[in-house]
Amino acid sequence: MKVGSPIDQAILTEVGQRPGHNPTQAIQKNFAVSRESVRLHLNKLIKDGLIVGKGSGKGRTYVLSRPLATDTVESKVDLRYEDLRRKGEDGAYDEFIEPNLPNLSNPGLLSRVRHVSTEILNNVIDHSQATNVVIQLKLDAEKLWVEINDDGLGVFRTIKDAFKLDTYFEAVGELAKGKRTRDVARHAGEGIFFSSRMANRFFLSANDLMYVYDTEKDDWSMQEGTPQPGSKLIFEFSRRDVRSPKDVFDRYTQNFRFMIHSPRLVSPYTISLPQGEFPSRSEAKKILAGAENFASVVIDFKHVQSIGQGFADEIFRVFPRNHPNIILEVRGANQFILQMIAHVGGTPVLKS
């Protein structure tokens, strides 16, 4: 049965996933509407026979008149690259993804799923040099997972080649910055930046590395990945999240352009250094490339044993001198690293 408005659909999703609960507060927060407005929508849904109200006043709760299907739904399709290119990203989505999302009444979620699916499939067509693509979906009462796997070059190699970088680690950094993309039409980066934020959690494995983004923390991390050809991207969505793609874009951009020094632009921007030692000034410059565009920067040393004087000087004396309005923070540094930072006169904020 069709439901009249996004608020109606969000109420049904909330009540279906949390029976015996009053969804008023969540709907007020997500749609910025009054309590009275939510009450009118609830009464309409009761009148239409879609939900049932129990109790009164603060103790009033709601359940669906007919429970949502809770069986896990899974689907998988293997496509040759030529077939994907012929269908196009929109055709592939319409044929293989949306028809396999039954009972998904959350319009914001559906819009975000369409955005990430078509964005990533377009990247596969334009950049991957793959021969085969696998699309997998899994849906249960709480979450939806969308996985797209290709056997091409790998995302980090694509970014590394586009920016003429030395290592895949640097490519992960460029992906995390997102705004460093030079040409949206030709180079990977900005599209994945936004797509990762459409989901509640995002995993990207390519070129023996894994990039993970967590929406709730607005933070990313990097770890060793499982060796495999091409790229594997997994988007994990909460079925309760009613954000639209516009909500995601509005958080990070103004008129779809990144806002320089806006605290809404991945604040803080976290640079998680991989295991090892960082002796040189040149390494520091590569790590900081693009960091001047952020309101605050966290350097995470959790896996680092030592740094050199040149590395410390570039990050903790030269960078703050040239960018005095940017907050520079340190996380996970051992005593040696802290002493080296103090030696060059650095005074970053220490973050637990």
245-261 confidence digits (pLDDT tens): 888 877 766 554 544 44
> What integer pLDDT is reported at residue 187 of this predicted model?
42
Sequence letter at residue 172: V
Show the tokens assigned to 150: 């290709």
Q: What residues pair up with 330 in beta bridges, in sequence order?
A: 299, 350
Burial 4-40, CB ≥16 within 10 A → b, else e: eebbbbbbbbbbbbeeeebbbebbeebbeeeeeebee
Same domain, 111 and 202: yes
Q: Is residue 205 part of a domain?
A: yes
Q: Quick one: pLDDT at residue 186?
A: 42
Count of domains for the chain: 3
Token pair for 210: 């894994």
Specify if 123 maps to a domain.
yes
Residue 149 maps to which CATH number? 3.30.565.10
Q: 3-class SS at 254?
A: strand
Q: Closest by alpha carbon to 156, among 89, 211, 86?
A: 211
Residues 50 and 83 in one domain: no
Q: Are 91 and 28 contained in the same domain?
A: no
Domain end (from 64, 87, 108): 64
pLDDT of res. 13: 79
Task: Write down the pTM of the prediction.
Answer: 0.63
Q: How far is the first Cα of the chain from the last one, in angstroms, to the nearest whole number?
A: 50
User: How far from chain centre, in Å, is Cα 141?
Assistant: 21
Q: What is the DSSP letter of 68?
A: P
> Do 14 and 105 belong to one domain?
no
The amino acid occupying position 286 is: K
Residue 48: the pLDDT is 80
What is the predicted pLDDT for the residue at 134? 96
What sign results for the dihedral spanned by CA atoms 235, 241, 246, 249?
A: negative
β 253-254/257-258 pair status: antiparallel
Q: Please count the residues of the chain.
A: 352
pLDDT score at 101 = 85
Alpha-carbon torsion, ordered 162, 290, 149, 253, to 10 deg? -120
**What DSSP element (H or E) covers 30?**
helix 24-31
Same domain, 225 and 103: yes
Residues of the chain with pLDDT under 70: 1-4, 66-72, 103, 177-190, 252-268, 352
Question: What is the reported pLDDT for 251?
Answer: 73
- Rounded distance between C-alpha atoms, residue 218 and residue 205, angstroms: 19
Helix, strand, coil percentages, rounded to 5, for the chain:
40, 25, 35
By residue range, what is the domain housing residue 33?
A: 6-64
Flag whether 1 is in a domain: no
Residue with tokens 């001198």: 321
Report pLDDT for 268: 66
Residue type, 251: R
Residue ending a domain, among 209, 234, 256, is: 256
Q: Is 30 a member of any domain?
A: yes
Of 64, 83, 114, the residue that ends a domain is: 64
